[in-house]
Structure 1
Amino acid sequence: MADQDISTPPNTSRLTAEELETYRRALRGEELDPADATLAELIRRGILLPNTHEVGTYVPTPYPYVESQLTAAVQRVLAQATEALAGIPAHVRELEAEQQRYNHCPSPVGTLLLNSVPTVNAETIRTVQTAEFEILTSQPGHRRPKILKGALPRDLEAAKRGVKVRTLYKTSGRMNATQREWVATMTRAGAQVRTLNEDFLRLIVVDRKHAFFEVFDDDGQVNQQAAAWYTQDRAVCALLAAHFRLQWERADPWVPEANDWVPEERDGGEPQPEDHPVTSKMQRTILRGIVAGKNHKVIGKGLDVSERTVTAQVAKLRNALGFETVMQLTHWWATSPERLLP
């Protein structure tokens, strides 16, 4: 007996009343009309077969064979459905890429207010665990040892998966032993950490699709009652990522394996910048741009000054320090405490 090719299973394994009556007539050996639609359906489903010994009559297919055929048909449909389900994410990403190409990126959700720290923690953990290529974090405040140790396994797992992890701390964080330990572990896993001696926003941006940031009141002060905003609005995520990059370019790399520069403490117990810095704020911005690999024209555009002005400022600083080359100047900058000034 040849296998029947049942491409699609019936909607139900039960026979209709008409099908059951036709099936019974076949079992009784009655002659059936080959043009009958009900008979044709039973033959298509492999339930009846033409009797090769008596034209016009039909014989039943052994029920174990019918069961195996119907089961195989259902399994084929399930396999096709499973394959289709597995392909949905790639299909959606393809559509998403096309929408972004034509600057059509509607936000999937609005901006949600997370009112409690546990809620923020749960959402950030969930989001970081699904990160695909980038996690940007800026932490202007002091992170308690318990929080740092609790976040380490999550952050470390992301870095080991190949996700680019960048974290920005305040310069004062270099004096925190627990924070230094966190940085040492994360940088060994491939993460990058920098410090900045000025104010910046507390935020987390994941894949430029998710962002968490502080809640501000109308007077510009941080709302201490609310925990954080969470958004998937692409425009907001892109803006916050751009803000992070601006702060990142002005910040100093934190490489724990090297000898960290820890500011000296004065009488008040707080680290202080030099009383009479050699560099001006503009010159420090220019030096950070040079270290970041930017040319004078690009640096000038960011400062809203001409390329000639940038070149003149570099020359002025070289003369003040007695250097002949920009290479000497950048080497001095890399080891000078002035790089930690705003």
Structure 2
Amino acid sequence: MGTLPDLPLSKDDLETYRAVAAGGAPSAGHDMDRLLGLRLITADPYKPDRYIAHDPRAVARRVLTDTQAAIGQALQCMTELPAIEGLASAFDPTRWYGGPGSELLQTRDAMNARIGETVRSASSEMVSAQPGAPVDRDPAVQRLGMDRVLDMVGRGVAVRSLYPAAVREHAQTRAHLDAITAAGAEVATLHDPFPRMILIDRTHLFIDNHVQPDERDRDAGWHVFDRAGVAWAHLIHQQLWARADRWNDKQASEGVLTERQKMILRTLDEGESQQHVGIRLSLSERTVTKDIAAARAAVGARTVYQLMAWWGRQTAG
């Protein structure tokens, strides 16, 4: 588009032109660029610091021609606005706010590799929620997890991890969590159920494969980059953390299950069906079902069978 002339002229510009047209010198210190740009004056090649005036009527005609051309171009641009606005149907506004979305990682190895890569680049924070029942792990694997936490804490990364209350009764996991809390990580336990998640720098979120929950490979998971999704998951973690018991809370360490929950499990262990436990203990079926669900959540068991297997380990010997 053509450039419009530098107008309007100032009072000093007008007085300077009149001075030059009368054969005099321009006002001392006055900026001559506007008058030169309009070609109302030109520098005198024979007299330094003096100028030659030109016919202002010719300049006015040229300015009028340039302005008319610019107006024509502006009108042409305005006629194109509907076509530009019509592109709105092809624009996905969520991409601007959400980012690229997420990626399905098909195997446990792929998940672990991606998590490890992201953890190594963490700069401010890693928070996680690990709802699984505690199990004895290969000491080498346990040490790898310990080294990862120690490296992050050493780099100034805040580490906060949430576990089911059952880890308080599992010797190997308890020793591991004692060590990482001593190094500066934060740990808490929760009796209620919660989802598995790992959040890094409030930018990366790793979750289980809830999109295809019936797939054979239950170790598949999602790496989520969507800003809204990651922020929402971080809020959920904060709410879970607020209800959890801190690792060094002695009162929380006294017991994973309530006495009534233990009584129900003892009755199930003696061979009673879930339907007959309530009759034997004078409890409603709803109460039994609710307590069993709470006990499963407390120990990180997905099924009643897993819950009873955990109970068997606690009462063995």
Q: TM-score, normalised by structure 2?
A: 0.48
Of the two, which has the highest radius of gyration?
A: 2
Larger % of helix: which?
2
Q: TM-score, normalised by structure 1?
A: 0.44
Identify the structure with bigger relative contact order (alpha carbons < 8 Å, sequence gap 6+): 2
